[in-house]
Amino acid sequence: MLPRKRTVEGEAVDGGDDKIDFGSSSSCDRESVLKKLRIEGSVSSTSTEKTTTSGGEVKISGSGADLGSSSNGKDSGERSLTEMAFDDGNPHDIDEDLHSRQLAVYGRETMRRLFASNVLVSGMQGLGAEIAKNLILAGVKSVTLHDEGSVDLWDLSSNFVFTENDIGKNRALASVQKLQELNNAVVVTALSTQLTKEQLSDFQAVVFTDISLDKAIEFNDFCHNHQPPIAFIKTEVRGLFGNVFCDFGPEFTVVDVDGEEPHTGIIASISNDNPAMVSCVDDERLEFQDGDLVVFSEIKGMTELNDGKPRKIKNTRPYSFILEEDTANFGPYERGGIVTQVKQPKILNFKPLREALKDPGDFLLSDFSKFDRPPLLHLAFIALDKFVAGHGRLPVAGSEEDANKLISIARDLNEALGDGKLEDINPKLLQHFAFGARAVLNPMAAMFGGIVGQEVVKACSGKFHPLLQFFYFDSVESLPTEPLEASDFKPLNTRYDAQISVFGAKLQKKLEDAKVFVVGSGALGCEFLKNLALMGVSCGSDGKLTVTDDDVIEKSNLSRQFLFRDWNIGQAKSTVAASSAASINPRLHIEALQNRVGPETENVFDDTFWENLTLVINALDNVNARLYVDQRCLYFQKPLLESGTLGAKCNTQMVIPHLTENYGASRDPPEKQAPMCTVHSFPHNIDHCLTWARSEFEGLLEKTPAEVNAYLSNPSEYTSAMRNAGDAQARDNLERVIECLNRERCETFQDCITWARLKFEDYFSNRVKQLIFTFPEDAATSTGAPFWSAPKRFPRPLQFSDADPSHLHFIMAASILRAETFGIPVPDWAQNPKKLAEAVNKVMVPDFQPKKDVKIVTDEKATSLSTASIDDAAVINELIMKLEHCRKNLTPGYRMKPIQFEKDDDTNYHMDVIAALANMRARNYSIPEVDKLKAKFIAGRIIPAIATSTAMATGLVCLELYKVLNGGHKIEDYRNTYATLALPFFSMSEPVQPKVIKHQDMSWTVWDRWIIKDNPTLRELLKWLADKGLNAYSISCGSCLLYNSMFPRHKERMDKKVVDLAREVAKVEIPAYRGHLDVVVACEDDEDNDIDIPLISIYFR
Amino acid sequence: MSSPSKRREMDLMKLMMSDYKVEMINDGMQEFYVEFHGPKDSPYHGGVWRIRVELPDAYPYKSPSIGFVNKIYHPNVDEMSGSVCLDVINQTWSPMFDLVNVFEVFLPQLLLYPNPSDPLNGEAAALMMRDRNTYEQRVKEYCEKYAKPEDAGAAPAEKSSDEELSEDEYPSSDDEEVAGKADP
């Protein structure tokens, strides 16, 4: 299977999700864009976003709850308006500020179940610590750490909580305090004595990372037969090999198999037939699968289907499916209707370990080039258990004798399998297995910590599909290419001894001397810094790690960016992360910068900086920054290790100079936006309403006040600019400014309420009335088809009522923010529904009059141009006169305060206004409304993120890091991964090679660059290319054209030096130390075929 | 496909080779104006519009942004902002398309076959649906009032020449428009 690429989160340098243009313009790029799926079965990012919020739909029975917002407690006697408006049942139990990104993945119900779960993690070496970390961050009720052994030097290669001072202490006791710091809401305890099976009854899930098979079988039998069953997970990492076994009991119910929001479709027609054929509008592809159950609603005509009964479908196609129902005698379909998938719980029957060992069933595959590996590893791990049982120790690294013993045990076991025996037990692989068996490596612990952490969450919540039942993995390709001697593995009595026992001391030295650049220190960045510190990367005298991030720590980061604590909120991410990483390994040579990486910081990250690097690790959260770093790595020929996560999904991509394609070589299509006209007047889902709401928010509260200030700070310049522009846009701007300063200027809070009330009338009544006046319900298009046909929904105006909490909530939130823009203090009574209702009822609301010029269409006189077409210039002049008049009545220095949307502050009323706007609009169009949290996910474009997938991604990348730093690996040794822990699904594959371009007897890839010396003129450059059979028609520098054969005036540039042209035309400033300039040349060969040639570096000094 | 910056150059080149009048701002390739003539057999025939084209960073993966600078009366063009609601240059854009497609096919089709079912200018859409003749008459009035050849160049050119004066000190700074006219 080919890899699927997905990019994704990682919180960093661009702060992406805050800076999105939500408006209708095409620059609306969502930063968490998924990279191209090279495989069918795509999941659109919008649907992913939806999926992640499914918690919003889970209603808790009998909730009289509020949203947990601290702002609405002012009137303790009465329920606040926020509570009443969003009755979404969150009884103060979830810290939404802390968990918002994770809530976007799990939903509230899953989080509640997690909060009730007690988990045991037994075996506190590196893997145990990683699992415990992920569970504590996720927020279970309690985590009990169990270990009877004590910390030794080898543990320091993989366990981030231990320091050299802990050596000799009990592992569980030494871990408890540092793990507790990650989340005070979780009870973390240590257990250092022998465990009895009866003690397991205290837990909903137990995890063993270091347990003999005999003991495991005994415990598992107890858990499997316990009432209710206790979820049992056994996992271990041995060198570059690892496994997981899950048993969640004889009958385990999966509530939600994939975490995806139920898919929906808008119906276009249904046949009267058995079975019936249902077709849907071709607006969006259907995502149903054969065998899905669906329900129908809003169907006109064939109303029998609106009964809410789930029905099975088959033959699913992009825009149609067959419904297993005899509709022959149903009413004929007329119009309308929505079809919604019904998600079914799934019951799984797990086998106990005792049985599963003999009959493992299907293994979960991770790498199709190793399809025969899992049965062998199954055998190898059983053999290793026997070896340990027999010898009382693990095999020694580099000991052929031990390896041979293990191989012979494995051979005997295999022989005993009879018919099921393996043809080849691959002694070489088993030798690697034996050599590394004692070592717990940090990247393996990080990877398996993510996988197992997710399985525990599944066991506790029923969310996502559990692993059935064995998973085996190895990364032997990470071993150095050259053969190693036994002496290479010898412990050096350092904290890296475990790692040295697998890779040898030479690679360890290379790790320590590496100069690494980690771009971003958000979720991915924190995990990377921990991994690198433990691996000893950049910890040598020549090593240097640079981390940069321009962001500061926020509360919502803490649920996964585990190097940060709540007392760090407001501090620079990179600085805090660097000092935390240095406390994990004090030898780490790390420098923290607060610069965003981009063209504007090339003075900081200059040529020397890049040239000195060994490699670059991206830990970014947006595609643009990734593309930029990719271009830099391409230019300076540096390896780039790229990764990203989105909810439970993650991907990694290795970019190795000359070996692989670069990151930007393949791209996802940009995210689909709703068409402007749909958002404008014809929304048919809540996303459309929220898009509209955000753009109105911006217009009313940010752009207009900013426009007012622009005018007031320099009236003459502003008005003359408007006069010069003289277009409709200028006129619109002026009208908005004048409204704010004249007609709608607010001086008291009552004015703000009036404004809000009139806005309500305008948005949710008048505009709708106007629209249905222009297009009545029975309007027909030129072809006679009904205008209001699917997916368009016919709107109905709202009648304001002070008894409706949502109406009142809109008034409250909107008037409070309006008051803020005018600097008017908000009185306490603004929050009191009764008093607010009194105030709003004082507002005089004029009756609606439809715009006349739209009506008189058949009237002969109507052909005269409407008012809209009167000269803009004349209107603008008149507006400016009015405006200047208004200004005279203002105090000097009068300014408004523009409000910038901030999604993560629950007390600022921003999301209240947006959710209210969107929900009232949804009500106009009979679209289901959403609660504030879900509105925040969609409108705030919150990228769902959890600790588990992040940890796994970084573990996978660090397994590749061994290959990059050792050098000499072929492309076949590298792996890119796409994985989703929800299913679970892993797809690892070789990176793609760079595209080779051939021309005459030359060939090149994107990694090549051409160099031309001696400061050529344009003419000389063209000749140099012509000599290669290349006819250049266009030469550019940056985004500026230096030469285009179509422009006669460019001919005059022929005898200028290219560098001078770049300075004059492109205004390029070349730093004094740089002797060259890069230009992009578009050219054709003699047959007029476009030839994509490398970047050309022109040396001029 | 070649690198995005080269796609810009190639697309621009092809547009000019197809005899479109392209007006660039300071030799930048991100943003420029193209002159567009109303198609024959449509009420827009004879009208000339200045179309503002913006190529985003992610072009051609991301669609160009297209806007009418001088006014047009059309169900799918916002009268105020000139923005166009057309699926092929928004949701269904493909990197396989180029600017010649936009000006040769997409925009002429839009003017020949407006889609009043998804209106951006509701008034124009309603009028078109109810009374085609009056609608066409109004289209023509708008053309005469706002889309004469001088409207497509004169007014906004004034604005951009301001910019040119302030920013472009290149000696032979004759307008790119002139260059465009002289195209083969």
- Calculate mean pLDDT across residues A653-677: 87
HSE-up of A1051 (CA within 13 Å, CB side)? 6
Q: Which of A254-258, A555-559, A594-598 has the highest mean pLDDT?
A: A594-598
Structure-token pair, residue A938: 């969609």
Q: How far separated are the first and last CA of chain B, in Å rounded?
A: 27
Q: Residue B179: which of A857, A1048, A1092 has the nearest Cβ? A: A1048
Mean pLDDT of chain A: 88
pLDDT band at A60 (very low <50, low <70, confident <90, very high): very low
Q: Which helix (H) or strand (E) holds A265?
A: strand A264-270
Q: What pLDDT does residue B179 have? A: 32
Dihedral angle sign, alpha carbons of residues A751, A753, A754, A758: positive
Match 């998804």 to its residue by tokens. B118
Query: Contact, A1054 vs A1061, CB < 8 A?
Result: no
Instruction: Name the H helices within A567-622.
Output: 573-584, 607-612
Torsion of CA A1052, A1053, A1057, A1062, to 10 degrees: 160
Neighbours of A972 (CB within 10 A): 10
Q: Is the pLDDT of residue A91 over 70?
A: no
**Using CA atoms, how far apart are residues A1052 and B171, in angstroms rounded to an integer?**
11
Closest alpha carbon to A651 in A620, A615, A616: A620
Q: Is B25 on the interface with A (CB under 8 A)?
A: no
Q: Which residues of chain B have pLDDT under 50?
A: 1-2, 154-184
* Interatomic CA distance for residues A397 and A489, integer angstroms: 6
Convert the pLDDT of each residue in A686-724 to its tens digit: 999 999 999 999 999 999 999 999 999 999 999 999 888
Mean pLDDT, residues A97-121 taken together: 91
Distance CA A68, CA B62 (A): 41
Higher pLDDT, B26 or A859: B26
Q: How far is CA A422 from the centre of its chain?
A: 42
Check if the beta carbon of residue A1071 is closer than 8 Å to that of residue A1059. no
**Minimal Cβ distance to B123: which of A728, A854, A1041:** A854
Q: Per-residue pLDDT for A362 more than 60?
A: yes
* Residue A132 · residue A235 · CB < 8 Å: no
Task: Check: CB of residue A1055 under 8 Å from CB of residue A1018.
Answer: yes
Specify the pLDDT at position A875: 82
Distance CA A892, CA A713 (A): 10
* Nearest C-alpha in B relative to A284: B91
Phi, psi of A1049 (to 5 degrees): -65, -25
Q: What's the pLDDT tens digit per position in A482-497?
A: 988 888 999 999 999 9
Give contacts of A45 with chain B, Cβ < 8 Å.
none
**pLDDT tens column, A264-297:** 999 999 999 999 999 998 877 899 999 999 999 9
A946 or B28, greater pLDDT: A946
Please tell me the distance in Å from A1040's CA to the nearest CA on chain B. 5
Q: What 3-state DSSP class applies to A206?
A: strand
- Interface touch A775/B134, C-beta < 8 Å: no
Q: Which of A791-795, A810-814, A1069-1073 has the highest mean pLDDT?
A: A810-814
Query: How far is residue A16 from each of residues A28, A608, A622, A906, A938, measured CA to CA in Å?
Result: 12, 28, 6, 20, 15
* B122·A681 Cβ contact <8 A: yes
pLDDT in tens, A418-467: 888 899 999 999 999 999 999 999 999 999 999 999 999 999 999 999 99
Q: Residues 785-804, chain A: which have Cβ within 8 Å of B?
A: 785, 787, 792
Residue A360 has pLDDT above 60, yes or no: yes
A window 317-346, beta carbon within 8 A of B: none
| Active site (annotated) includes residue B85 | yes
Measured CA to CA in angstroms, residue A725 lies from A872, B70, B78, B157 at distances of 10, 12, 18, 11
How far does Cα A793 stand from its chain's mean position?
Answer: 32
Which of the residues A677, A752, A1040, A1083 is marked catalytic? A677
More confident position, A933 or B164: A933
Q: Which band of pLDDT confidence, cut at 50, 70 and 90, is reported for residue A57?
A: very low
Residue A975 tokens read as: 């792996």
CB-CB: which of B10, B138, B183 is closest to A1090?
B10
Q: What share of chain A is helix, strand, coil (3-state, %, to 5)?
A: 40, 15, 40
The DSSP H or E segment spanning A322 is strand A320-323
Question: Looking at residue A236, what is its pLDDT?
Answer: 96
**Nearest neighbour of A1039 by CB, restricted to B30, B79, B169:** B30
User: Average pLDDT for residues A468-480, to the nearest whole number?
Assistant: 96
Q: How far is it, in rounded angstroms, from Cα A296 to Cα A530?
A: 50
Of all residues in chain A, the percent with pLDDT exceeding 70 is: 90
Residue A92 has pLDDT above 60, yes or no: no
- Report residue A666's pLDDT band, with 50, 70 and 90 as the boundaries: confident
Q: Which of residues 393-412 of A touch B (CB under 8 A)?
A: none
Nearest chain A residue to B24, by CA: A1041
pLDDT value of position A84: 61
**Residue B8 pLDDT:** 85
How far away is chain A from the Cα of B171, in angstroms, using its nearest Cα? 10
Q: In angstroms, what separates the C-alpha of B5 from chain A's closest C-alpha?
A: 7
pLDDT band at residue A583, thresholds of 50, 70 and 90? Answer: very high
* Chain centroid offset of residue A16 CA: 10
SS3 label, residue A430 = helix
Residue of B nearest to A771 (CA): B122
In whole angstroms, what is the distance from residue A963 CA to residue A974 CA? 8
Interface subset of B 121-180, CB within 8 angstroms of A: 122-123, 125-132, 134, 137-138, 141-142, 145, 155, 158-159, 162, 169-170, 172, 174, 176, 178-179
Which pair of tokens denotes residue A287? Answer: 């995502």
pLDDT tens per residue, range A992-1032: 999 999 999 999 999 999 999 999 999 999 999 999 999 99
> Do residues A314 and A321 make contact, with C-beta atoms less than 8 angstroms apart?
yes
pLDDT at A209 over 50: yes
Which pair of tokens denotes residue A517? 């650049």
Over residues A131-144, the mean pLDDT reads 96
Alpha carbons A782 and B136: distance in angstroms, whole number:
14
Q: In this predicted structure, what is the pLDDT of residue A147?
A: 97
Task: Write the pLDDT tens digit of every residue in A1033-1087.
Answer: 999 888 788 998 888 888 889 999 999 999 988 888 888 888 899 999 999 998 9
Residues 6+ apart with CB under 8 A from A465: A254, A257, A258, A346, A458, A982, A983, A984
**pLDDT tens column, A305-338:** 999 999 999 999 999 999 999 999 999 998 889 9
Contact A1080/B120, CB-based, under 8 Å?
no
CB A453 within 8 Å of CB A460 = no
pLDDT at A731: 84
Report the gap between the CA of A303 and the closest CA in chain B (Å). 26
Chain A, chain B: beta-carbon pairs less than 8 Å apart: 170
Contact between B28 and A1090 using a beta-carbon 8 Å cutoff: no
Residue A244's pLDDT band (cuts 50, 70, 90): very high
* Predicted local distance difference test score (pLDDT) of residue B86: 84
Please name the residues between 79 and 108 in chain B that touch chain A, using a CB distance below 8 Å.
79-83, 85, 87, 90-91
From the candidates B10, B25, B29, B85, give the one annotated as an active-site residue. Answer: B85
Class of domain B2-149: alpha beta
Please name the residues in contact with A871: beta carbons below 8 A apart, sequence gap of 6 or more. Answer: none
Residue A41, classified by CB atoms within 10 Å of its CB into exposed (0-12), middle (13-18) or buried (19+), is exposed
Contacts of B138 in chain A (CB under 8 A): 863, 865
Report pLDDT for B159: 37
Facing A1065 at nearest CB: one of B27, B130, B142: B27
pTM greater than 0.80? yes
Contacts with A19 (C-beta within 8 Å, 6 or more apart), sequence order: none
Q: Is the pLDDT of residue A98 over 90?
A: no
- Which pLDDT score is estimated for A54? 34
Residue holding tokens 């660059």? A1009
Chain A residue numbers touching B116 (CB-CB < 8 A): 781-782, 787
- What is the gyration radius of the CA atoms in chain A, in angstroms? 33
Say whether pLDDT at A30 is over 50.
no
